[in-house]
Amino acid sequence: MTIDTTIKDLLANQAMPKQVKIVEVGPRDGLQNEVPLGLEDKLGLKDKVALINSLSQTGLTVIESGSFVSPKWVPQMAGSAEIYGLINQINGISYPALTPNMKGYELAKQAGVKEVAIFGAASESFSQKNINCSIAESLQRFEPIMQQAKLDGIKVRGYVSCVLGCPYEGDIDVSKVAEVAKTLYRMGCYEISLGDTIGVGTPAKAQAMLAEVAKQVPMEHLAIHFHDTYGQALANIYACLQLGVSVIDSAVAGLGGCPYAKGASGNVATEDVVYMLNGLNIEHGVDLTKLAQTGAEICKALGKVSNSKVANALLASS
């Protein structure tokens, strides 16, 4: 089987990375799905700003901080423009925002955002139900953003959803994932994040998917974004590290979830990822103690217990 041969070749020729970049998505992807609809006031602007400022002190270099979408569709992300005006932006740290359309891009630019993110899906059903258009149509909508961002000198990151499974279609053909990722890369996205949106992936499937995408997009331009619904996220990350991926998306305290997956417990916790990387002697630059404290603070504001096993263990022993 071609995929198996590709994996063997990658394992034979690619050592684990010596250094990993962690993309912290808690303030956007985490909080967006953490606060139930109708309870947007549960977490105030002050809490969101405090979270981002605290994360900025942990050694993280990328903190996804907002989403310029219509408050009608995602009320949890209302106030993103105000957030960018209030946070203490530190040199050397990127604070990207999600911009699903040209209007969102323009609002983000007005707020001083220096990096934006766009997203496509590897599932036609998910694309239709989530944004009411086909995959091809969704990608076409991003062309004006890519053109303007190039003129403005703003970096664009691409996301691909449902790379290991869809709540409507089930298993997803890895060739479809590779096709969407290749399109985003050719459009000008400097990095493509591969998302297991509903958290159903397992290590072998994660490796097979990554190996197939790496045929179309250089590994150094790929990132992994795994949810932990079935407790497989860390194992999936480890499997992909073996193939040479060096960018990992995660959320402090395991914030998040997915409204399309029953029982989804959220993104993989950044604390758990950092602890694993420490054990593998892979550099990442993040202070685990400060990170766990930050997670505890946002969980207190949310009135919930952290989803990070590492953070809970550390705080219980301190």
| Both tokens assigned to 83 | 């957030």
Write the DSSP symbol of residue 214.
Answer: T
What is the pLDDT of the chain when averaged over all its residues?
90
| Both tokens assigned to 181 | 């990722």
| Both tokens assigned to 22 | 């962690």
**Among 264, 257, 275, which residue's Cα sits nearest to residue 314?**
275
What residue type is 69 in one-letter code? V
CA–CA separation, 129 vs 274, rounded Å?
34
* pLDDT surpassing 50 at residue 271: yes
CATH code for position 231: 3.20.20.70
Crossing angle between the packed helical segments 288-302 and 309-317, to the nearest 10 degrees: 100
pLDDT in tens, 288-297: 999 999 999 9
**Cα dihedral 45/46/47/53 (nearest 10):** 110
C-beta separation of 69 from 107 below 8 A: no
- Catalytic residue check, 240: no
CA–CA separation, 101 vs 103, rounded Å?
6
Catalytic residue among 189, 240, 258, 299: 258
Provide the percentage of residues in the chain whose pLDDT is more than 70.
Answer: 90
Q: How confident is the model at residue 37 (pLDDT cuts 50, 70, 90)?
A: very low
Residue 165's alpha-carbon distances to 124, 171, 180, in angstroms, are: 12, 5, 15
pLDDT value of residue 310? 98
What are the respective helix, strand and coil percentages of the chain, to the nearest 5?
45, 15, 35
pLDDT value of residue 88? 97
Which class for 240: exposed (0-12), middle (13-18), buried (19 or more C-beta within 10 A)?
A: buried
Q: How many domains does the chain have?
A: 1
Which class for 255: exposed (0-12), middle (13-18), buried (19 or more C-beta within 10 A)?
A: buried
**Among 9, 32, 62, 53, which residue's Cα sits nearest to residue 246?**
62
| pTM recorded for the entire structure | 0.93
pLDDT value of residue 51? 97
* pLDDT surpassing 60 at residue 75: no
Q: How confident is the model at residue 266 (pLDDT cuts 50, 70, 90)?
A: confident
pLDDT in tens, 191-200: 999 999 999 9
* pLDDT surpassing 60 at residue 175: yes
pLDDT in tens, 51-73: 999 999 999 999 999 999 866 65
Q: Which domain holds residue 234?
A: 2-317
pLDDT value of residue 193? 98
Residue 227 phi/psi, 5° resolution?
-90, 160
pLDDT value of residue 39? 46
